[in-house]
Structure 1
């Protein structure tokens, strides 16, 4: 494979930098309150340069979300799907808890995109693509618990995946909206609820996982 030329490498680095700056702006203020001019100003480039790399704010938001979700999914693949089964639940709870703590504003932007997708078709395809990948990842986790531990699901894998995804998605949103609690309190409640949901999905009452201990 031919390595990229210096000009190509420079253009790719510039594009990555602009996506990084756009991520900061959009995550801080939300899609409706940020213009391409705002992003160009924060990036220290002209509006023309930004338009050279991205035709519209919609295209830039899609790049931001794709970049963030790729990183999030890769982390789940590495630390949860491939984790020893004895560490399955703690690994899942740890990744989700850490993501809520470190990427709170990016999660908020993800819900912003989903709301925009109700009215903007160009966003709908990205939302479906990302949700389908997360559904598939959850299904593989559950199938592994079934085959390697003989843990029987109370419903079929497809239904269980949809239930677990919907519950996680809803609980993350609740954590983002619940400003009366500290981040640690919200994450602790989230992890405990997640454990109970996982238990309820298995007819035996336990998928051979262990809950994260709650702090005082």
Structure 2
């Protein structure tokens, strides 16, 4: 007579890594995901492979992130946090008169040294457009990057880096959008050299920004600076009436 089967126990989420002897499991998963995603691309990456490279149970991927989309978001957030920290350090430690040259050179080096981070960034952009659940998170990540660049612009203009003004944010969006576009073109076309374009971009931006080395006095408030420049008054035309 066959023995009756015992009822299956309801599945439960994996225990906390701290209880399994893996307190750094989440960080290991992010590091492994960054490597696997960069090597294989988003579509070819599997949760199983990420867990294998990280050396953890596959269930921990779902426990911490829930999905591969969320895992990519976590990886990109980690890269963004590193980017923000490096830019803040550069801003704090670079003399004001060297800040523009150093910042643009750092942005170019970042592209050449870490193209895989930009590749994952664009994968996330595409997901943000397709997956409504990720759209707001991707937009928030973009805003965080804009804010850090705006703080750098504010310091260059002689303002307070902790309180960038609307004009600082406008410049930041222009600069970061151009950087993203140049990085994308460099990834798609190995023959493309972004160096000369970076130089021209810096020249175009600095020609309109009040700051050291621009030939203009630094302005703390963009609105006042614009008001000072104002619209040139029309010159009086010489009279064509004959003199008596």
TM-score for the superposition, normalised by structure 1: 0.76
Aligned to 2:185: 174
SS of structure 1 residue aligned to 2:66: coil
How far is 1:190 from its partner?
4.2
Deviations 1:144-200 (A, max 9, x none): 22226xxxxxx933432322222222122222222114xxxx352243133223224
Which runs of 5 or more structure 2 residues have no equivalent in the other structure? 1-16, 160-165, 216-244
Aligned to 1:152: none
CA contact (8 A) 1:108 1:176 kept: yes
CA contact (8 A) 2:31 2:54 kept: no
Residues 140, 45 of structure 1: CA spacing in aligned structure 2 closer, same or farther, 3 A cutoff? closer
Aligned to 1:26: 37
SS of structure 2 residue aligned to 1:32: coil
Q: How does 1:38-77 map to 2 (within 5 A)?
A: 38-77=49-88
Q: Which has the higher contact order (CA 8 A, sep 6+)?
A: 1
Residues 8, 64 of structure 1: CA spacing in aligned structure 2 closer, same or farther, 3 A cutoff? farther
CA contact (8 A) 1:100 1:172 kept: yes
Which runs of 5 or more structure 1 residues have no equivalent in the other structure? 1-5, 149-154, 209-216
Residues 30, 65 of structure 1: CA spacing in aligned structure 2 closer, same or farther, 3 A cutoff? same
Larger radius of gyration: 2
**What root-mean-square deviation, in Å, do the aligned CA atoms of Structure 1 and Structure 2 show?**
2.8
Q: Number of paired residues? A: 193
Q: How does 1:1-216 map to 2 (within 5 A)?
A: 7=18, 10-80=21-91, 82-147=93-158, 156-181=167-192, 186-202=193-209, 207=214
SS of structure 2 residue aligned to 1:201: coil
